[in-house]
Amino acid sequence: MRRSVELEIITEALSKMGPHTPATRLWGRAPDATADMAAEGNVWAGDVHDVALHIVTRLYGRPGTPREASPLAQAEDAKRRRDMGDEIAALTGAHDQLTSAPWYPARPGDLVHVHYEQAGDLPPFGETYIVGHVGAGLMSLQLLAHTLPETVPGLDAEATAAMAGCFAAEAADCPVYEAWFEAGPRSLTIVRDGRPVHIGGAP
């Protein structure tokens, strides 16, 4: 089971709320309840860890899974279950996670590495892209290198070569947006000025 840094941070933050710390339970009122409305149903209480787990699950998916699916895969899974709430949560959560990241937005010169897990006969491999400036507030994402094998069982050389560089973009407001949703944040490593600013595969 992987360690969830996000869960630890949120749990610690919640436990320090209020006058008594560390807190073990949180109390709140229903959104439409007033201060003098103490009737049953207007007030709720929750364990700090349970509340933190709920927040982390809505934002990043449930921690402790061997490998979290990408936001797009989570949304498609929810769509198959006809769970519109989870579908919207997967997409909006990933969008909010991206746009609230301290390194966002991407900048020209950023290096973006995408890691792919093994899939059938296709071994794990990686791709490295660089963000470029194309003017008018738009940026490109150009493939620099990849470790995709030249031959993959069941695929000819042309089909194998076509698999590399699928996230390349000529002009986009956010050149990492597609990779963030399709490959997933945990598959990305972003380097800026020689320093990693996002390490998706960190435990």
- Same domain, residue pair 170 and 186: yes
- Same domain, residue pair 146 and 182: yes
Count of alpha carbons within 13 Å of 86, Cβ hemisphere only? 15
Which residues, in sequence order, are CB contacts of 88 under 8 Å at separation 6+?
Answer: none
What pLDDT is stored for residue 19 in this prediction? 65
What pLDDT is stored for residue 32 in this prediction? 61
What pLDDT is stored for residue 180 in this prediction? 92
- Same domain, residue pair 95 and 46: no
What pLDDT is stored for residue 64 in this prediction? 54
The runs of H, that is alpha helices, within 28-70 are 48-60
- Same domain, residue pair 82 and 124: no
Q: Answer whether 91's CB lies under 8 Å from 79's CB.
A: no
Q: Does residue 36 form part of some domain?
A: yes
Domain that holds residue 76: 67-100
Confidence label for 196 from pLDDT (cuts 50, 70 and 90): very high
Average pLDDT, the chain: 79
Provide the angle, in degrees to the nearest 10, between the axes of the packed helices 48-60 and 5-15: 140
Number of domains in the chain: 3
Long-range Cβ pairs for the range 56-63 (8 Å, 24+)? 56/4, 56/6, 56/7, 56/10, 58/89, 58/93, 59/6, 59/93, 59/96, 59/97, 60/4, 60/6, 60/93, 60/97, 60/185, 61/90, 63/2, 63/4, 63/6, 63/7
**Which residues partner with 112 through β-bridges?**
129, 190
Extract the tokens encoding 25: 């339970």
Q: Does residue 43 form part of some domain?
A: yes
pTM for this entry: 0.62
- Same domain, residue pair 148 and 162: yes
DSSP, res 186: G
- Same domain, residue pair 141 and 151: yes
pLDDT digits (tens, 9 = 90+) for 94-129: 899 899 999 999 999 999 999 988 877 778 889 999
pLDDT digits (tens, 9 = 90+) for 2-37: 345 666 777 777 777 766 667 677 666 666 655 555
Extract the tokens encoding 50: 């349970």
- Indicate the range of 23-27, 143-147, 190-194 predicted with least confidence: 23-27
- For 23, list phi and psi in degrees, rounded to 5: -80, 145
